[in-house]
Structure 1
């Protein structure tokens, strides 16, 4: 008696992204890892109306924290390492139509310490999309792109207009960062992403 075989069920294809060919450094080479880095963002304080949050690794070890200073003309955020040293200060330019952010090294405001700028790709958009320019880039072509997924619960950070994945933000709480990508830079971008979500 012949046995009836179950129909063949194909396995869904895995989506792959081209690996990063060269190290991506915006803040410092000490924040490069040769392996994928996973970080957790604690946004509890954020949802309570403040803008401070912590970033830990998968073991719960504090890696970075973000402090805010909102009683000034420009909203400012400070990315600090676990020891409390200021790595980056981010300033939102409130009089711009595209919601522009500027990130400077340490506590500096000098143009030669500008690390990157980020702004909305379009004035009106249904999904959050940001163009990110390194400090020396004065052109129109962004060095990086941030794109919100269709589910509106995650973001991809891409190299320029390519499909080379640098990092993904899952559910606004988990960061999956590719090897040889400056993870401090990715966390600084998350500050801008969370602001874009909050204020549209």
Structure 2
């Protein structure tokens, strides 16, 4: 049992563990619209986003439609560092900041600093988790006291309707409006890091295509066997056959070709699973 943690308001404290579902609505003009319900399906909060906002402005509303928090991403930041500032209601009173830095692929990490922590030498809360498991744990300052946990739901309904649903358990006497804001920021930050990952993946594929074209040209000119195509050229269904052909024909592995670098988180996950005992 932790001491009461009030960040937004004491009215968002529960004496027992509180289960919430945070659902990102699919068919909206922005990616930032969420509905938050309790275990009985009652709407607790809604998050509304601005379509034309350079700072990805989001507003957390209570069940009555009253603005509780305003979330917005800092427009100017260091490369691969995303910082969100959270304000009380629609005012300029900063409640906390959440910073994701540095860029660690496929790793979830947020450092949270309260508004009074101006030096930001030590974070007040920390979010740690994994993109592969699509889960995270929120810790207090000491890094060992858990205040909430989140797990992405993969139910048939969520998949069929195209809704991303995050199941959150908030520990007793922890401000659950604060936890909801952190999960929304985490989801928004992950989306932006996925965009970076896609750009990096496209760069790798371009490099592989260039190397393959040069090697193919050289092989044709010299009458040598043509190099094997990089895995990024192939569909998922033909990659296994391609790998098997390399295992059956060891000489193919000695031919120069572009480095085989996974270009997506799914490929990396499959590679790790296949290599594990």
TM-score of the superposed pair, with normalisation by structure 2: 0.61
Moved more, 152-161 or 56-65: 152-161
Q: For the Cα contact (< 8 Å) 1:142–1:161, is it kept in 2? A: no
Q: How far does the alpha carbon of each residue in 1:19-69 deviate from its partner, in whole angstroms, 9 at most, with x for none?
A: 31x111110011001100000111232898531010000110000000001
Q: For the Cα contact (< 8 Å) 2:33–2:47, is it kept in 1? A: yes
Q: How far does the alpha carbon of each residue in 1:103-127 deviate from its partner, in whole angstroms, 9 at most, with x for none?
A: 0000012xxx110000014244440
**Alpha-carbon distance in structure 2 between the residues aligned to 1:37 and 1:60:** 13
**Which runs of no fewer than 5 residues in structure 1 stay unpaired?**
1-18
Partner of 1:53: 34
Aligned to 1:176, the other structure's residue is in SS state strand
| 1:122 maps onto 2:102 in alignment | yes
**Alpha-carbon distance in structure 2 between the residues aligned to 1:117 and 1:54:** 22
Q: How far does the alpha carbon of each residue in 1:65-108 deviate from its partner, in whole angstroms, 9 at most, with x for none?
A: 00001313321000000110000000101321211000000001
Moved more, 113-122 or 80-89: 113-122
| 1:134 maps onto 2:114 in alignment | yes
2:58 to 77, 97, 102: 77
Q: For the Cα contact (< 8 Å) 1:156–1:168, is it kept in 2? A: yes
Relative to structure 1, is the Cα distance of residues 49 and 76 closer, same or farther in structure 2, using a 3 angstrom cutoff?
closer
**Alpha-carbon distance in structure 2 between the residues aligned to 1:56 and 1:83:** 13
1:180 to 169, 173, 190: 173
The alignment of Structure 1 onto Structure 2 pairs a total of residues equal to 178
**Alpha-carbon distance in structure 2 between the residues aligned to 1:104 and 1:167:** 21
Higher strand fraction: Structure 1 or Structure 2? 1
Higher helix fraction: Structure 1 or Structure 2? 2
Q: Per chain length, whose mean CA-contact separation is higher, i.e. which structure has more relative contact order (CA < 8 Å, sep 6+)?
A: 1
**Which runs of no fewer than 5 residues in structure 2 stay unpaired?**
153-164, 194-277
Aligned to 1:148, the other structure's residue is in SS state strand
Partner of 1:66: 47
Partner of 2:141: 160
**Alpha-carbon distance in structure 2 between the residues aligned to 1:53 and 1:72:** 17
Q: For the Cα contact (< 8 Å) 1:76–1:90, is it kept in 2? A: yes
Relative to structure 1, is the Cα distance of residues 46 and 115 closer, same or farther in structure 2, using a 3 angstrom cutoff?
farther
Within 5 Å, give how 1:106-121 maps onto structure 2: 106-109=89-92, 113-121=93-101
**Alpha-carbon distance in structure 1 between the residues aligned to 2:69 and 2:181:** 8
Partner of 2:275: none
Partner of 2:85: 102
| 1:197 maps onto 2:190 in alignment | yes
